[in-house]
Structure 1
Amino acid sequence: MSLMPSWRVEVASDEDQEADEASSLRTTGTEGNIHLTFSDVKEWLDAHEEKTADYFLMKADISLINRWLVLHGFLSIKDYVSSRRNSAVFNNSDDSSPIEKCCGYFSDGADATVHQKTNSKKHLRQTYARSRKMNVFRTCDTLGQTHDSSSTQSRRNSLKDMRRFLSLPSRSINILNLLIESKVRIPRVPSKCRDSKRELRFSNERQFFLEIVQEIAHDLDAKSLTQKIIVNLSVLVDADGASLFLIEGPKTRRMLVSKIFDVHFGTSVIIPSPTDDSEIRVPWGTGIIGSVAETGETVNLRNASEHPHYNDEVDKICGYHTETLLCMPIRNADDEIIAVAQVINKNPENDGGIFTAEDEKLAKTYLEFCGIALTNANLFEMSRREYERNKSLLEVVHDLFEEQTSLDKVILKIMQRAQRLLKCERAALLLLQEGGNTESVKFSRTFDLASPAGGHTLSNNRGWPELNTSSGLLQFAERVACTGEVLNLTDPPETQQVAGRHIRSLLCMSIRNRDYKIIGVAIIINRTDGLSFDENDEQLFEAFTLFCGLGINNTLMYSELEKAMARQKVAIEVISYHGTSPKKDVKKFLDARIPTAVEWHLESLQFDDFSLSSDEMIFASIRMFKDLGLISKFRIEYQILCQFLCTLRKNYRSIPYHNWRHAFNVAQVMFAILTHCGLKSILTDLEIFGMLTGCLCHDLDHRGTNNAFQEKSGSALALLYGSKATMEQHHFNHAVMILSSEGHNIFSLLSADDYSRVMKILKHAILATDLSTYFQLRGKFFSFVNNEVYNWDFEDQREILRSMLMTACDLAASTKPWHVQRKVAELVTNEFFEQGDKEKKQLKIQPPALMDREKKHELPQLQYDWIDSICLPLYKSLVKINPRFMEMVEGAELNRERWAALSTQSFSVEESEVSNGNAPKV
């Protein structure tokens, strides 16, 4: 009987497939219907074996072959374990049953060659099957069949031979990266409850074993995997509970870690805090767990309390009593111990409550699969961490190119990422001072990054020891800066008792620039998980220090470039606006008669600031130098002095207040204080020389805007000098430029020591006119003056006195007669209002009240507060040095009362022609 090709064949089976008689074959063709029984078809298939085999090879798939092998018992435990190692972690088929999925890990090499290699898992399985040459399959009726020692050795050799099949191919690594990038969770088989598993365990042992193996096959999370293993293991051997400990850390500092603490495990434990994600850590080599991990031997105890390594401390805490105990190692493909499993208290209703040899064999078989699952999970975790680390390093590189204008911002970003990735409590970075040597290391800047709950801050955390000599941390930094070595310390004794804060671990490395020169030191302290820094941390931190060095080098180069451009811009502005005074302008001062100081009232503290013309102010300046004896004492050439003063006048801009007249008026007050208030007897001639010159130079090239405006507008001056005393630094540098010009150096005949000293005094005098310096120093000055504990023989006190005298002269308009104070107030107000207009139009910001034209009605009250809180306290303190300063106090008090009266009236600049008298020059 033959089947015609033109027919359409359908096989219809009733509910009982095993009864051949109940099955029928219905064929429908063009010539009619022919009814065939299943026996007829079977008979035909038996008679045509070649055609049957060809049809099977053409139509059968891999799952059908594997199912046939299982149903006919062609798989032994050894082959099952060995072939199971080739399962890929990414396979998940929803079209097959659990048994088919588990059986799908096996294939016959000869038959598999007819199938296309559609995925990497099948390819690995087929390759391995061919390498085994089909001689590994043996009949096994039950999974609990006993194997002899030679079978066990064969299995281990087979597992070692399969090592090359356990490595993920490049394609799988790419898939893994995609999974990590997209945060896709690998599908897992839902876990049954313990009761359902126990019921299946005793009803169908084979099905139960296949399901618990398949359950852990696709789980790559160590904590979830641990939970499944301990539940499955306790059900498998009918025990009350189980524990699983993973071996972590380098060989020199290995620990046993339990992701989930179940019941007693027979050793001392380190109880974790809630932030440690409930991990239990057991020291290496201690207790029953540690002994098994170290020796690899199985421990089966009928009475756990009799074992020398047993410890009942957890039993006491939990109120639990451990009687029987089975502890076994878990190995990877290289026969290395990677974990230890422990089950306790066998069910007393079975085997007398004792773990039998059969239990050991079942547990050992299952732990083979657990070793594969844990290896896959560890491999996945390592790949994920490596991916995150590489991603973080790329982000650091991005930060370096994104931010190069601020050293603080670059270092903050890099250290934040280092701290986040290395999971440390504190990070610090110290930059070496330029020009230092290896014998005496000095750090110019320190960045200390703590990680409080509110976020990262570049400041010292109060709970931490400061980076100073007493903390021991600075010694480590200096040592690394000198030697370039890497320090990885655990519990460093030098820092144990500092500030009551325990430093458990410390990693310190040098930072180098592009020339491989050490420019700083980076320190990280205390891993948040309580462990020491390992080799991986060292490698990663080394990469961060490398990037940090590049970032610092690039930022410093960018800063130098900006400064060079700013310096060029400022120089061009100065040259285009100023220059030296021509000789024809100087000539008229050489032979002319100079009036006496008495004729122009130069010694009076009530001098009229507007009584002299521009040329007369140069004559008056010459008179002050002559009467103070500076010309004769320091052999100043008269022509050089005239040239110097004329050039000074030319280098003051035509702005309402901070001009040449203001500079002369400040110098006149200094002259009056020296001659009228007896300060000449306290100060040396060199100090007087430097301070009088400083008064004349203290506002050179003033632009009519203050320091705050330079910073807000990002001017070239702010880029060149920074935000601290911006204009004052510019005034000093401008004075140095004039003194360096040919024919202008009035200090040229001084000795080298005197020249260095007077230049230092000049710089200090000019910088002292910044009110921020006054606010920093006046507390000390008021203290030792009010308590009369001052001694002018001490240089530090003399320096403070010189600063206070410069401020007193700069603010002296508040002590002058009312008509002078009123006119000065008008000039100051006009200049401040012009700055306020610029802030509104150019910077689009709201200016302060004293610079806002719309708030001019508030100026009398502001001026009253200014004199009362800033000026009067200074002049009153000077009275205690010399009573003749009382004249300035009285003048300031009279002006304060005038402003108080105006503040109660309807104030208008146009009506009263007054304004803010002498607002802060900050």
Structure 2
Amino acid sequence: MSSIFPWRVEVTCDGDQESTSSRTPSTDSNMQLSFADIEEWLDTHPEKMADYFLMKADISLVNRWLVLHGFLSIKDYVSSRRNSATTNISNDSSPLEKSCEFFSDSPDSYITSKSVSKKHLRQDYALSKKMNVFRTCDTPGHSPDVSSIQSRRNSLKDMRKCLSLPSRSIYILNMLIQSKVEIPRFPSKGRDSKREFRLSNERQFFLESVQEIAHDLDAKSLTQKITVNLSVLVDCDGASLFLIQGPKSHRMLVSKVFDLHTGTDIIVASPTDDNEVRVPWGTGIIGHVAESGDIVNLTNASEHPRYNDEVDKICGYRTETLLCMPVRNADNDIIAVAQIFNKNSESGEGVFTPEDEKLAKMYLEFCGIALTNAYLFELSQKEYERNRSLLEVVHDLFEEQTSLDKVILKIMQRAQRLLNCERAALLLLQEGTDSEIVKFSRTFDLASPLAGSSTTNTRSWPELKTSSGLLQVAERVVCTGEVLNLTDPPEIQQVGGRHIWSLLSMPIRNRDYRIIGVAIIINRTDGTSFDENDEQLFEAFTLFCGLGINNTLMYGELEKAMARQKVAIEVISYHGTSSRKEVQRFLDTKIPSGDEWQLESLKFDDFSLSSDEMILASIRMFQNLGLISKFRIDYQSLCQFLCTLRKNYRNVPYHNWRHAFNVAQVMFAILTHCGMKSILTDLEIFGMFTGCLCHDLDHRGTNNSFQEKSGSALALLYGSKATMEQHHFNHAVMILSSKGHNIFSSLSAADYSRVMKILKQAILATDLSTYFQLRGKFFSLVDNAEYNWDVEDQREVLRSMLMTVCDLGASTKPWHIQKKVAELVTNEFFDQGDKEKTQLRIQPPALMDREKKHELPQLQYDWIDSICLPLYRCLTKMNERFMEMVDGAVSNQEKWAALSGQIACTDKSEDSNGTAGVSTEDNRSKTGQL
């Protein structure tokens, strides 16, 4: 240092004030210098300043100088610092330098000696060697000779000359930076060590280079390794690799990393593609090699007609020699193009020799295998991601099916993410649309944020009004059912202000494979067209979408049906329940005693009471059975319940409110007169007596057989087993569930469940098919005296038999009552027979045929003989008080025999009309149920 400057100065900065302090050398201990003095001296001795700069300046200082004078962009400067050594910025840094530091990931770091310079200096300018020479001057007492100083000056001059870029290069560099296309910076240490290793053992280097790429399945990392190994293998400045991607009709050459040199026109990739660069098919030298498969070896690349020097100008680089070769897979198909440039001038004549071609070709064969493996791995990853995405689509679609808008929103959002498109549209076909006139009921359009459209709002769901061309495409898809994959469609130039370069449209079908809509996706975000993989994925996507939309529409229809049902129930509840005024009339009326109406008599006159008196009599029976006090029945609720029951019996000849009351009266007489109350519990009596009043609710005057033959709504709802009985029970439950009608409301949860079970069993037991199923067991228990009413199964059988006894009780009443009841039943049967003739076009049974009215006495005789009397006689064996019912039935049987001209029914098989001797099963089929 003393040979250059006669003193040594320290400069310190405190805020905006500068102070200098000098350490006086032995030659002049009293000398004090200011910063201005030093600056003046340096200005007058420029050669000293240059020498000091060359000895002390490292690469970071050089780059700072380049940034300040506009030769290096801030972006490159900041990026290059990320791998630099640690050195603090001084406080006297300029504002521009501080702004660079602000954008740096490592605020306390400078650029290392070789991180950026190689990208701007041809042949590396032998900088590393020369910097070693510069650093030798740092040794105390060492003084460089004149030749070394001159050499350093020439090197600096060469550097400035090579870095003098065209005026528009800074602008182009900024464009590249904004597009996120960056020049990769490979670690120089790795490249240098490889070069040294190649010089020492080229064979081993080749083997290790092959091994290095053999297990790498990442295309970007693989590209990096291949280019580095190629440049070292043939001893050149660098290399680049372009992969062939896309379908045959829209193939592109893609570089996973923007290389030092491409030698052709480039298309800057979108921001989402990181550093990818795409070259149109057949463009430039690499396009020619990819298309023809030829090897291109140029000694002066700039003179070739296909060569483009734009990147050279941007990077401050000049390409002279160029070797471009195809990369093939195992099937000899070209899958990539490798480009090697600028053979080292120190090696041979500075051109690529046949040996270089042979060596590169041999290595590229292994590269083809590695790239194929990476491609297959990438395909498997994509397939996995697609399958996972489709599962997410299924989850989304079937998770939310209550709202069509929400389902469509999820569909379109998934389509954009899954297929990487700018825009998605969905058009729902109008119901009933024919193939000639296509109409869409609703159309939706959703733009991706990447599309830059501000007109689309996903919440407001704008109708698709921007382009009639899209509607034409959708109409074509509906009419033909085909898939449309269009590139730069002439009929659609723009949608929402965006140019259309790719469009994919498919029909959406429901589970019946009927088209219910059209899905359209527009513009892949990477600027390419939709390929076959997109079509396959979109097809699977639309399949799930069709199911999701179909289910949502069906759910909507179900909701409407449920709403209609709810409205209908509300209307029925209002019109089917008794009014408060009607109920109040019974609340204010005094109820006569049971003896006054002879309610405990088995010979009670079914026609002796009026409609209102039957309600009062029902209340009296509830009271006499002790149910009101025992179960704390609200008196007003009981009156409301009975009035509503009466209102819900239809005006049919027999199965009406009077029949329900008469069955309940017989049950009351059995419980009190016959003493069955002692066998049954109060809860059973409560359920069975209520069941008698409800057992024929909403009867339509036709039996179960007619419901099945006509395919009525009741048969569809309840099936063919006990159709009407199930309806009666459900109707009773509906009335009990209405406000102010639940006479079971005071029961505990256990008792409520128990009484509802008994109620259902009691009503279903009135079906004659249930009677025929159980009577054999009941007859056996009674005949053999094996019954034990403490066993629940046997109690159920007993309760069922008692319900049948009550339902058939009219056959035991005095003759004038029995005859009148039979006429009512016959009229109802004849009405059903008329319906079977006119509506169903079938011949009804004799019991329901008006033309066979003369057969009625014989049919009634057989009815009592085969169905009624066996049950009454069996009950008599258990309880002699039932003998009164047996006597009444026998008496009525004799009357029917007399009417039919017979005294005794001894030969039932000789009747000329085939009805005198019918069996039990024949009677059952003809009568159905009473």
Instruction: Give TM-score scaled by structure 1 length.
Output: 0.41
TM-score, normalisation: structure 2: 0.40
